Amino acid sequence: MADWPIGVFTSIDAGLGVKLEVVQELGIPTLQLHAPHRSTRTPSAAEQFVERLDQLNIELTAVFGGFEGESYADIPTVSRTVGLVPPETRAERLREMFEISDFARLLGCDVIALHLGFVPHDRSLPLYEEVLQVTRQLCKHASQNDQALHLETGQETGEALLAFIADSECDNLFVNFDPANMILYGTGDPIETLKQIGSYVRSVHCKDALASDQPGVTWGREMPLGEGQVDMELYLQTLKEIGYLGPLTIEREIPQEPARQKQEIEHAASLLTKLKKKLLA
Ligand code: MG
């Protein structure tokens, strides 16, 4: 793979990514995939998808898990509904992540990823230990499929994330860094955090946002790339400094407006291509 190939977050029938047709039309060479619904996670569906990617010469770089019942409506709702943290759904969602890991293996993909949810900041809480346990179980399953697990950033500060990864003692646990999430959730400066956790960053999102006037209490606002508070040139420069030259995966989650979504992704790809030329020259 060439350095910093452009990528895009994609959906088949679940999640908020763009459709594969858009990736093809824009000539983007890599994608991350939101795992499809269970009924579509079959060996024959996997085979067809792999064939299609081969024909289009597109490389799949990560499969993201997501669950029924998750809502990003506001920050308290995220805390209550997202990922493997909520106790009521944890066992069932862990089983589903095992299935997603197995499906990703059928797709020949060695990275699975997810929003783990809000990990408690107080490491002495029983819930913290429970979240560590479930993460270890998932890492173990992923490892049996020769996969790494990437945690989507946003809900934790860099410091909390480093502590959590160290406490997990998993050697296949890494980070999918999303600078916009840090702004949306109000969890810290994305560039400083990227430097802090750089050695664990194995995939990234290129997404932009404006901070809330009540950071950590209400949402910031997702923005088209280049129009928010992520300094994209500094972001890429910092990725270069930490030695990250993997895919630059554009994430723009407005599937209700497909025409605008495509246009903004096209614009993001051209912005990133321009910065790439400058920074990798
Ligand atoms: Mg993201």
pLDDT at 34 over 80: yes
pLDDT of residue 281: 87
pTM for this predicted structure: 0.96
Tell how far the Cα of 51 is from the centroid of ligand 1, in angstroms: 27
What mean pLDDT, rounded, does the chain reach?
Answer: 95
User: How far does residue 6's CA lie from ligand 1's centre (Å)?
Assistant: 15
Spacing, Cα 247 to ligand 1 middle (Å) = 13
Angle at 259 between CA 255 and CA 263, to 5 degrees: 105
Q: How far is the CA of 124 from the centre of ligand 1 (A)?
A: 28
Distance from C-alpha of 115 to C-alpha of 237, rounded to nearest angstrom: 26
Which residue is it, tokens 């890492």? 139
Lowest model confidence (mean pLDDT) among 7-11, 147-151, 152-156:
152-156
**Non-local CB neighbours of 95 within 8 Å, separated by 6+ positions:** none
Ligand 1 centroid–CA 37 distance in Å is 19
Distinct helix (H) and strand (E) counts, the chain? 10, 10
pLDDT at 44: 96
Share above pLDDT 70 across residues of the chain, in percent, rounded to a whole number = 100
**% of the chain surpassing 90 pLDDT:** 89
> 128 CA to middle of ligand 1, Å?
23
Centre of ligand 1 from the C-alpha of residue 253, in Å: 9
* Average pLDDT of the segment spanning 45-64: 96
Q: Are 150 and 104 in contact (CB under 8 A)?
A: no
Quick check: 121 and 159 in contact, CB under 8 A? no
- For the chain, state the CA radius of gyration: 18
> Phi-psi category of 108—alpha, beta or left, where left has phi over 0 and alpha has psi -120 to 50?
left
Rounded mean pLDDT, 93-101: 98
pLDDT (tens digit per residue) in 2-30:
899 999 999 988 777 888 999 999 999 99
At residue 210, the 3 state secondary structure works out as: strand
Please tell me the predicted confidence (pLDDT) of residue 114: 97
- pLDDT number for residue 73: 87
Does the structure show a pLDDT above 90 at 211? yes
Q: Give me ligand 1 centre to Cα 176, in Å.
A: 8
Distance 166 CA to ligand 1 centre (A): 22
Q: Band the pLDDT of 45: cuts 50, 70, 90.
A: very high
Band the pLDDT of 83: cuts 50, 70, 90. Answer: very high
In this predicted structure, which of 109-118, 163-172, 194-203, 247-256 has the lowest mean pLDDT? 247-256
Domain ranges of the chain: 6-279
Ligand 1 midpoint to CA 178 (Å): 5
CATH class of 6-279: alpha beta
Cα of 203 vs centre of ligand 1, distance in Å, is: 10
Whole-number pLDDT of residue 216: 83
**Burial of 57 per CB tally in 10 Å (0-12, 13-18, 19+):** exposed
Q: Could you tell me the sign of the dihedral formed by the alpha carbons of 214, 248, 34, 88, in that order?
A: negative
